[in-house]
Amino acid sequence: MKNIPVLLNQDVKQVGKKGEIVEVSDGFAKNFLLRKKLGELVTEGALKHYQEQKASLQRKMDNLEAHSKSLKEDLEKNYVIQIRERTGKEGKLFGAVTSETLADIINREKKLDIDKKKIILEEPIKTTGKHKVGVKLFHGVVATIIVEVHGLDEE
């Protein structure tokens, strides 16, 4: 039985991860990996194409990270969310300011596409005052913004 090298296009359980070159049996390669387009035979062209794709993806990720870091600086220095809510005695809100509310405000005011799952809020804000909230912008890049909650009757 002959083994041949195959460049994997996708992760294959118990075989390898995307981008790896694995030695598999001739039959497994032809009847499974190649037929389902999970891999391709290792050729100079296939390797070059894979390396170009990998380099392009790395450049794109680097650009996204740089943009996220500059956005983080801008948000931390120049952005405060002002919210007015109905309050009861002692500054307690009748409702609560949730991560969904904050994501909607950020998306509307800053024209960003932030999902509520990217807002780091341990529990909804239920009191007036200043609160620090984290916003995940990119893997490892978290901006800390200030949320000021005021009662409707406050001036």
Q: Are 46 and 8 a contacting pair, CB within 8 Å?
A: no
Burial class (CB in 10 A: 0-12, 13-18, 19+), 143: buried
Give me the mean pLDDT over the 72-85 stretch. Answer: 93
Task: Convert the pLDDT of each residue in 4-14 to its tens digit.
Answer: 999 998 999 99
**pTM beyond 0.75, yes or no:** no
Q: How confident is the model at residue 155 (pLDDT cuts 50, 70, 90)?
A: very low
- The CATH 3.40.5.10 domain(s) of the chain lie at 3-61
CATH among 1.20.1260.10, 3.40.5.10, 3.40.50.1360, 3.60.15.10 for 3-61: 3.40.5.10
- The CATH 3.10.430.100 domain(s) of the chain lie at 68-151
Nearest one of 14, 18, 65, 61 to 39, comparing CA atoms: 18
pLDDT for the residue numbered 90: 81
Q: Does domain 68-151 have CATH number 3.10.430.100?
A: yes
